Amino acid sequence: MTHPLPEIVHALAAPRPAAGVSPFALVALTADRAAAAVCDDAVVIEAAARLQAAGFTVRRPSSTSIGISGPPGLYERVFGCRLTAGERRRPEPDGADRDVTFVDCEQARTPGVIGTEGTEFAALLAGIAIEEPRFLCQSPAGPATGYWHLRVPADVAHALRADIVHQQGKSGAGVHVALVDSGCYPHPYFTGKGYQPVTTVLSPGTANPADDPHGHGTAMAALILALAPQAKVTVVKSTATNTTQAFTEAAGLWPDIICFSWAGHNVTGPLSGADVILSDEIALAVSNGITVVCPAGNGQYAFPGQHPDVISVGGAHLDAGGNLRASDYASGFTSDIFPGRRVPDIVGLVGLQPNASYIMLPTQPGSFVDETFADSADDTKSDDGWAVFSGTSAAAAQAAGVCALVKGSWPGISPTRMKQLLRATARDVTTGSCFNAPGMNHQATAGPDRATGSGLIDAYAAQSSAQTTYIECSIRGLNCD
C-alpha cells in the first residue's frame, strides 16, 4: 500500500571519503576506525555549495555528512530517482506493533539510500541517506492513582547517590551536555532550582525554541540537571524524522557529552542509509572525545543504543523499601549487528510494567506528555506542566548527568574510560528480568548480565573513583585521558 510523500524530506548527503570507499559499503564504523569516513574539507564544501545551488536547504556539514532538506520532487529531479512512502511494522513505545511510514528510493540498493550514479554529483557524493522515523523511549500510558513514585531533583539524586557528591561541592560546573530531544520549555522549575538557563538549538524542520509541544525534552533536561545541577545543558530540538541531522548539529557544538533520546528498532540488520551515517557520526564524535549516551530501548532492539561506542542505558527499579530489581520495561539483548555487543552497559531508574509510571517530571503545560501521563495521585490535571513517566530515555538522561559529575572531576576522561568507570562502580542488580520479548527476558544475576549490564549507576562511587584516578595520574605525571 502506497502513502503520500511528506512535503519536505530530510536526508544526509554522504561526500566521498578521502579513503575512497563509500560509507555504505563499509561495516558500520566504530571510533577506532572513524577516520575511514572522514572526507576532505574541499569535497565537503564543494558538495554543500552545489547542493544549495540545486535548491536544497543545507545545514552545517560535518566531515562525514551534509544535512539537506527539500520537497520530494527536488530529489527526484536532481538524482533521477523515484521516492515512495510505505509502511513497515515495528514495536512502538506503547508496547504494540504498529505500521510506521518510511520514505525510500525505488532504486535503492541499501535501504533508504538514493544513488548518485549518472548525476552531476557522482564524483562528490557516495549517496543520499533518507532520514527515517525514530521514537522517544518513554512510557506509553497514563498511570493509575495511588502509587509510590520519585520526584526530581531530590528523590532521583538520592537514589543514585548524587546528593552526596553535591554536598561535597561537585555539581558538574564547566561541563557541557547536549540533549537531542523534542525541545525544552522554560518551566519555572528550572529557575526555581537556580539552574543555568537551558539553551535550545533548532535542527531542520523545527521552530520556536521556547516551545516543546511533545514535552519529553523538558523532562529529560530536568533529569540531567537533577544529577548535575551546575552543568550547561543545550537541547537540540528535533523531530522523529530529522534525528541524524540533529545529532550532527549536537556534535558540532563540541559538548562534553551528547544524550541522544531517539531510537529506531533493528534486530538483525542491515542498517539503513540513515543508520550508517548516524553510526559514522557517533564514531567520529567519540573519536573526538565526546561521550555519547543512548537508551537501550523499551522492548525494542534500539539503535543507536546497540552501537559499541555509546553508553547504552537500560533500566532498574528501586521501590519504596529500597529493593532493587531489573525493570521488565527495559530492553536487554545481544546485538546481531555488532557481534558480541551486549546491551545495556548500565542501568538507570525506570518503572515497571505496564506503564513505567515512576518519576514526577516537569514538562510543558498541555503538551503530549502532560496530557498523556497526568491523572496520578499527585497530578490530577493534564495542563499543569507535571507528569509521571519514565523509560530508558529517562535512564539515559540520568546517566548523562552522572557523566557530567565524572567529567567535572576528571576533565580529560575519554569516552572509553567513562564507560569503563561507570561499569566498574555500578551497583549490582541481582533480581528481576528485563523486557519479555524474543531474544530478551534475561534474568539479573550477580555480576554483569544481559538484563542490567553492570548494574545501576552510582554517582558517588563513579565521581569518587574519577577524582582519585585523576589526582593519582596528575601526581605521577601520567596521561590522565
pLDDT for 62-112, tens place per residue? 999 999 999 999 999 999 999 999 888 887 666 667 788 899 998 888 889
Residues 111 and 180 in one domain: no
Residues 426 and 328 in one domain: yes
Residues 234 and 120 in one domain: no
Look at 364 and 33; give whichever has higher pLDDT: 364
Total number of domains in the chain:
2
- Grid cell listed for 440: 530478551
Which range has the worst mean pLDDT, 93-97, 222-226, 240-244?
A: 93-97
Distances (CA, A) of 417 to 112, 309, 411, 413: 35, 11, 12, 6
Distances (CA, A) of 61 to 13, 30, 319, 348, 474: 9, 20, 46, 33, 37
Residues 163 and 39 in one domain: no
CA distance 253 to 395: 23
Residues 124 and 237 in one domain: no
Place of cell 519536505: 8
Check whether 188 has a pLDDT greater than 90.
Answer: yes
Residue range 280-316, pLDDT digits in tens: 999 999 999 999 999 999 999 999 999 999 999 999 9
Check whether 34 has a pLDDT greater than 90.
Answer: no
Residues 451 and 463 in one domain: yes
Question: Does the predicted TM-score (pTM) go above 0.85?
Answer: yes
Residue range 208-223, pLDDT digits in tens: 999 999 999 999 999 9
Residue 284 lies in a domain: yes
| Per-residue confidence (pLDDT) for residue 145, from 0 to 100 | 43
Burial call 258-289: b when 16+ CB within 10 Å, e when fewer: bbbbbbbbbbeeebbbbbbbbbbbbbbbbbee
Check whether 396 has a pLDDT greater than 70.
Answer: yes
| Whether the Cβ atoms of residue 278 and residue 250 lie closer than 8 Å to each other | no
Residue 196 lies in a domain: yes
Residue 3 lies in a domain: no
Check whether 377 has a pLDDT greater than 60.
Answer: no
Residues 244 and 319 in one domain: yes
CA distance 186 to 375: 23
Per the prediction, the chain carries an average pLDDT of 91
CA distance 469 to 195: 29
Residues 126 and 147 in one domain: no
Residues 441 and 372 in one domain: yes
Residue range 146-172, pLDDT digits in tens: 567 899 999 999 999 999 999 999 999
Look at 135 and 307; give whichever has higher pLDDT: 307
| Per-residue confidence (pLDDT) for residue 138, from 0 to 100 | 63
Check whether 119 has a pLDDT greater than 80.
Answer: yes
Of 71, 101, 133, at which residue does a domain stop? 133
Instruction: Give the number of other CB atoms < 10 A from CB of residue 473.
Output: 15
Residues 19 and 68 in one domain: yes
- Grid cell listed for 206: 523545527
Residues 323 and 384 in one domain: yes
| Per-residue confidence (pLDDT) for residue 209, from 0 to 100 | 96
Nearest-10 Cα torsion for 374, 379, 382, 386: -90
Burial of 439 (0-12, 13-18, 19+ CB in 10 A): middle
Confidence label for 327 from pLDDT (cuts 50, 70 and 90): very high
Residue 37 lies in a domain: yes
| Per-residue confidence (pLDDT) for residue 144, from 0 to 100 | 40
**What is the full DSSP assignment across 148-207?**
--EETTHHHHHHTTHHHHHHTT-S-TT-EEEEEES-----HHHHHTTPPPPEEEEPTT--
| Per-residue confidence (pLDDT) for residue 140, from 0 to 100 | 42
Tell me which residue of 8, 126, 121 sits closest to 54, measured CA to CA. 121
Give the angle 369-372-374 at the CA atoms, nearest 5°.
95
Check whether 28 has a pLDDT greater than 90.
Answer: no
3-state helix, strand and coil shares in percent for the chain, rounded to the nearest 5: 30, 20, 50
Residues 186 and 330 in one domain: yes
Domain containing 387 equals 136-476
Element (H, E) at 405: helix 392-409
Q: What is the CATH number of the domain that holds 442?
A: 3.40.50.200
Which residues partner with 136 through β-bridges?
Answer: 262
| Per-residue confidence (pLDDT) for residue 439, from 0 to 100 | 95
CA distance 96 to 91: 6
Check whether 141 has a pLDDT greater than 60.
Answer: no
Check whether 378 has a pLDDT greater than 90.
Answer: no
Of 133, 159, 186, at which residue does a domain stop? 133
Tell me which residue of 402, 369, 389, 387 sits closest to 225, measured CA to CA. 402
Of 114, 133, 152, at which residue does a domain stop? 133
